Amino acid sequence: MINVKVSAAVYPTEDPEKVTKAISVLFTGIKLQKDPFDAVESEKGVFPAFWLTGEGGLDLLFTLHGLIRRETIIDSIRNKVFSKGLSGEGLLVRFLLNKQAAFVGIPSAPAEEEPLGSIEVVIRADSPEEMERLFEWLLPLTEEGVPVVEVEMDYVERD
């Protein structure tokens, strides 16, 4: 089973509705909740007002799947994000997406954490094989930017 968790810090200078929209544009049907920010220490000296978080299954990734293809950035996302963010045991991948680009429906992976934070996505799988099927669905191998083979969403969900 695939579990997707999406979160973003909302800073006092940001419009919470815009951050909500940025997340919702990329993640199908996500239900966000407001979580308090526990301030321990911040390197930036500026603390978020709160976190927006949402969790769900594979269906949350449906819109992101389509947007990655629309923008023809499969290779870029796979190389910049997934290859670096995959855990050693292959059960978890963590990556960041730019809030401003997400607001206009463009998935974009920042080179590093942004001043007002990014959208953090954590995807967990029950097995390395399941994570591999997720990669094959979301970010398939391409030739000249076009997927060699497209698999359906249910390919990921089977055991």
Alpha helices in the chain, H assignment, sequence order: 16-26, 62-70, 74-77, 83-85, 99-103, 128-138, 154-157
Query: Which of these, 90, 119, 114, 152, lies nearest to 26 by C-alpha position?
Result: 119
Structure tokens at 14: 């940001």
Structure tokens at 144: 């000249």
Instruction: Return the CA Rg of the chain.
Output: 16
Distance CA 57, CA 60 (A): 6
**CATH 3.40.1350.10 correct for 2-36+48-157:** no
Distance CA 80, CA 52 (A): 24
Structure tokens at 122: 């954590």
Per-residue model confidence (pLDDT) at position 124: 95
Q: 56-60, 84-88, 119-123, 130-134: which range is least confident on average?
A: 84-88
Query: Which of these, 76, 84, 158, lies nearest to 125 by C-alpha position?
Result: 158
Distance CA 25, CA 2 (A): 20
Q: Are 26 and 70 in contact (CB under 8 A)?
A: no
Per-residue model confidence (pLDDT) at position 40: 58
The per-residue pLDDT for range 113-127, each reduced to its tens digit, is 787 889 999 999 999
Per-residue model confidence (pLDDT) at position 44: 56
Per-residue model confidence (pLDDT) at position 112: 77
DSSP-based three-state secondary structure for 39: coil
- The β-bridge relationship of strands 50-56 and 33-36 is antiparallel
93 pairs with which residues across the strands? 86, 123
The per-residue pLDDT for range 65-124, each reduced to its tens digit, is 999 999 989 998 888 777 778 888 889 999 999 999 999 999 998 877 787 889 999 999
